[in-house]
Amino acid sequence: MSETVQWNTVTIDGNVGGNSGTPNLVTVRRVTVMPLSDVAIRKAKPGAKPVKLTDGRGLYLLLRPDGGRWWRLDYRRPITGKRNTLSLGTYPEVGLADARGRRDDARKQLAAGIDPGEHRKAEKAVGRDQAANSFEVVSREWLAVRKPGWTDKNFDKEQGRLEKHAFPYIGGTPVVSLGVSDIRPLIERLSKAGRLEQAHRLRFQLSRIFKFAVATERADRDPAADLSEVLPSRRDMVKQRYPTITDPERVGDLLRAIDGFSGTFPVACALKLAPMWFCRPGEIRMAEWTHFDLEGPSPTYRVPPANRKLRKKEKEHPDTPPHVIPLAKQAVVILLELQKFTGRDRYLFPGARDAKRHMSDGAINAALARIGFKEEMVGHGFRHMASTRLREMGWPREVVEAQLSHKVGGTEGVYNMAEYLPKRREMMQAWADYLENLKSNSNQ
């Protein structure tokens, strides 16, 4: 607080210095106390020691030797009456008006018997607790708990869904404070975009996270469960299928286009083998030469459990068998030619940029688009093609399903352990012959 000093001469009647009845002229020091101003603060220079620039009601600006300007409030603690100092920020980040406002708020707390210093500590503790229990923190804990039971691919999908559709909107919110109104927009956003399956998966995932939060005593309930009726039932949804071709004439067009593919030789071989094997695309691009037996009367590709579509515990279990793909003679011819080019590598179809890695998951689809079948056929579509045509050709359902590596449900799936391998080998050769005939426009 600044002072304005004025020296005034005033007349005082009375006995001064022993002379009665004579007027006396006396000079007095009049001090006017002025509050701080921004100008005064800016003009203040630091000294060798800290200087207090007082404003009033306990507020002052501490001017430090290093030039720092810190707002401080001195007050007496309720009940004990002990002196305490509260920091109110630094100047100019906290201006004079803001500092006075913070001082007034603190004095209101004092008037109510609240120690503003202790109140601030409590607020910080609550903030730390909320941050530690935010939706994102709890979700990542849940992901870590579930990760041992998932494959890396499944984990990436679960984590990616949250990072894209949940964390940007509710990630920093304490999980205990989230309700239906907070999470319904996340579900409806996907639903309105036509991504109903993703909307169902996100709702189910959120529900599991909230149940985890309840179990770890950081939430009281699962609001995602209340949204189970917001979305159309999965039973009412039109199941999306991969683009595929089942018309024999069009299949022949596709096979001829594949023969005319002008890309790299490994990709060309992958394209030719995909319709003959009709296995999952990953089982093609991750195929290694050690998985093949090209000698003898029964050439075979044994897909290891690690490359199959299985749960993680099944992939890692030593008793899980490989999926056997009998190789038709046409497939063996292609493989023997490919072996001359990539036989020294680990993978049949090495990556274009790094031979130590397998072909990318988009290579076959890109090649199909390149030969003119974009949006009409994808790598996974060869499975639908084969399933449809083989059943129409009269091959038994169980043999086709076994070759597709599908699990059969119900009692049949539990007790039917037969692999139908001899019949499957016969079928795979007949299928390769059928494709060859389609390509040459005969016996369609």
Residue 172's SS3 state is coil
CATH code of 381's domain = 1.10.443
| Residue 368 lies inside a defined structural domain of this protein | yes
Q: Are residues 296 and 392 in the same domain?
A: yes
Q: Are residues 369 and 400 in the same domain?
A: yes
For residues 389, 392, 393, 396, the Cα torsion angle rounded to the nearest 10 degrees is 100
Q: Are residues 260 and 387 in the same domain?
A: yes
Give the pLDDT of the chain (444 residues) as one tens digit per residue: 444 434 444 343 444 444 444 444 444 334 334 678 988 898 888 889 998 999 989 999 999 999 899 999 999 988 788 999 999 999 999 999 999 999 999 999 888 888 888 878 767 766 666 667 889 999 999 999 998 888 888 899 999 999 999 999 999 899 999 999 999 999 999 888 888 889 999 999 999 999 999 999 888 999 999 888 888 776 655 455 678 999 999 999 999 999 999 999 999 999 999 999 999 989 999 999 999 999 888 999 999 998 888 888 888 888 888 999 999 999 999 999 999 999 999 999 998 888 889 998 889 999 999 999 998 999 999 999 999 999 999 999 999 999 998 875 544 443 344 578 999 999 999 999 999 999 997 544
| Domain boundary, last residue among 177, 202, 236 | 236
**Based on the structure, what is the number of domains in the chain?**
3
Q: Are residues 266 and 316 in the same domain?
A: yes
Q: In this structure, are residues 428 and 326 in contact, taking their beta carbons and an 8 Å threshold? A: yes
Residue 43 falls in the annotated catalytic set: no
pTM above 0.85, yes or no: no
Q: In this structure, are residues 258 and 271 in contact, taking their beta carbons and an 8 Å threshold? A: yes
Q: In this structure, are residues 162 and 205 in contact, taking their beta carbons and an 8 Å threshold? A: yes
Q: In this structure, are residues 154 and 311 in contact, taking their beta carbons and an 8 Å threshold? A: no
Residue 309 falls in the annotated catalytic set: yes
Residue 64 falls in the annotated catalytic set: no
- Cβ-based neighbours of 354, under 8 Å, separated by 6 or more: none
Q: Are residues 330 and 269 in the same domain?
A: yes
| Residue 185 lies inside a defined structural domain of this protein | yes
Q: How far is CA 392 from CA 358, 367, 421, 424, in A?
A: 35, 28, 20, 16
| Residue 17 lies inside a defined structural domain of this protein | no
**How many CB atoms sit inside 10 A of residue 347's CB?**
18
Q: Are residues 213 and 352 in the same domain?
A: no
In angstroms, the CA 262 to CA 370 distance is 9
* Residue 398, both tokens: 């169980």
Which one of the listed residues 120, 309, 315, 423 is annotated catalytic?
309
| Residue 123 lies inside a defined structural domain of this protein | no
| Residue 212 lies inside a defined structural domain of this protein | yes
Q: Are residues 328 and 428 in the same domain?
A: yes
| Domain boundary, last residue among 236, 266, 299 | 236
Look at residue 293 in the predicted model and tell me its pLDDT.
94
- Cβ-based neighbours of 66, under 8 Å, separated by 6 or more: 46
Strand 2-12 relative to strand 69-76, pairing: unpaired
Helices (H) and strands (E) in the chain, counts: 18, 9
Residue 406 falls in the annotated catalytic set: yes
Residue 308 falls in the annotated catalytic set: no
| Residue 126 lies inside a defined structural domain of this protein | no
Look at residue 231 in the predicted model and tell me its pLDDT.
81
Residue 303's SS3 state is strand
Look at residue 113 in the predicted model and tell me its pLDDT.
82
| Residue 192 lies inside a defined structural domain of this protein | yes
Cis before residue 92, ω within 30 degrees of 0?
yes
Q: Are residues 69 and 91 in the same domain?
A: yes
Which one of the listed residues 102, 165, 323, 380 is annotated catalytic?
380
Look at residue 7 in the predicted model and tell me its pLDDT.
40
Residue 52 falls in the annotated catalytic set: no
* Residue 92, both tokens: 């100019």
Q: 336, 330, 281: which is closest to 432 by C-alpha?
A: 330
Which one of the listed residues 72, 165, 218, 280 is annotated catalytic?
280
According to DSSP, the residues that pair with 28 across neighbouring strands are: 8
Cis before residue 350, ω within 30 degrees of 0?
no
Range of the domain at 180: 135-236
| Residue 8 lies inside a defined structural domain of this protein | no
| 225 DSSP 8-state letter | G
Which one of the listed residues 107, 195, 291, 406 is annotated catalytic?
406
* Residue 44, both tokens: 């203040």
CATH code of 210's domain = 1.10.150.130
Which one of the listed residues 383, 384, 389, 424 is annotated catalytic?
383
Q: Are residues 262 and 224 in the same domain?
A: no
